[in-house]
Each structure stands twice: as C-alpha cells, then as structure tokens.
Structure 1
Amino acid sequence: MSTSVACGEFSYAVIGLDGKAFRVSLVDPPLGKCITLPEVADPSSSSPAFAPVNGTDAIASAWVEPDCTGDYVTLQPHAKEKADSRLELRSVMFS
C-alpha cells in the first residue's frame, strides 16, 4: 500500500441537472493535494456539494470554495455517517 494516498472512500452529495441529489466518491485520494470537486468547481453555475462522509484513514479538510480557499471544516477519519447535510464544500484536501 502506498503512503501517498488516503486509503478508503470519501463521498459527498451533489445536485444533478435533473434537480435530484446523488452521491459521488473519491477512492484512495492523494494526500496533501487540493482536489476541487469537478461537479461543483464553478460557483457561478453550480450549488456546492454537501453531506460529506470521510471513510478514509486520513483527516479531510473540506473547503467551501474551489482550490482549497475560504473557510474549511476538518472531518475526522473513518466516519460512519454523513456530516451535517448543511455542510457545503467545493474542494477537499487529505492529510
């Protein structure tokens, strides 16, 4: 196993073009790299992602803006349940 990834799955919900929510997952995301969530990368054309679940073995910092800018919330590893559904994010970094 590589030590340069957060082992496990990080998931979040987004609103699709049909107006329905669906979940997206990042599997074994890289450590120390900002990941702007592609589904919500453009604040002028999409609502933020929400209800993240950090099922990885690393701490996830969930940022409210793309490129890991703005305010953020730290999510502990190995979460079993979704964070507050009101928690919004557009980018994430694992450490």
Structure 2
Amino acid sequence: MTVAWIMLVAAGLLDVLWAVSLKYAEGFSKPGWSLLSLLLLGGLVLLLGRSLLVLPVGTAYAVWTGIGAAGTVMIGIVLFGEGIDPMRLFWIGLIVMGTIGLKIGTA
C-alpha cells in the first residue's frame, strides 16, 4: 500500500513537471522540450497505472489531479509570474486539504 502511495505522489509530481515542459515546448515547436514532455507523460501514466493496481481508482485519480493542479498553480506563480491573490490561494488550499483527506481516509 505504501509503495502505491509513493508511486501516486510521484505521478502527481511528474504531472506538474509535464505541464511545465508543455509550456516550455511552446506548442511542440521546441524539440527538446517536446521530447521531455512526452517522456514525462509516459512516466506519469506508468506510475499512475501501477498505483491503480492497489488503490481505488476514484481516490487515486482525485489525489493525482489534486497534486497536479495545486503543484502546477504554485509553479506557475514561481516560474511564470502568474497571479497570486488570497482567493486563488484559498481554493488551492482546499484542493490540498481534499487530497490529504483522501489519503487519510484510504490509509
């Protein structure tokens, strides 16, 4: 069970890196970034699929997308200067709390 959760979190982190690589790939016009994005996509799908051998699909998918969404917003703020305001942080906080809640509830 612990290994499945580790793979799921790793898939979520790869999802964040994948989104960033897509931004840098500029519509797949930059070959290096495009290749990296495809490799990251393959890695995240592999890890997500492996975690689904043990974890419930609804829980795993919600946690994976929660990590991806919250992580991508935070990286967008740091790397790309995307807007930061209290309401945006509030909603991201709810996503994080929901993700943690699903982990606790499925332990």
What TM-score, normalized by structure 2, do the two folds share?
A: 0.27
More helix by share: 2
Q: Which of the two has higher C-alpha Rg?
A: 2
In proportion to residue count, which structure has more strand? 1
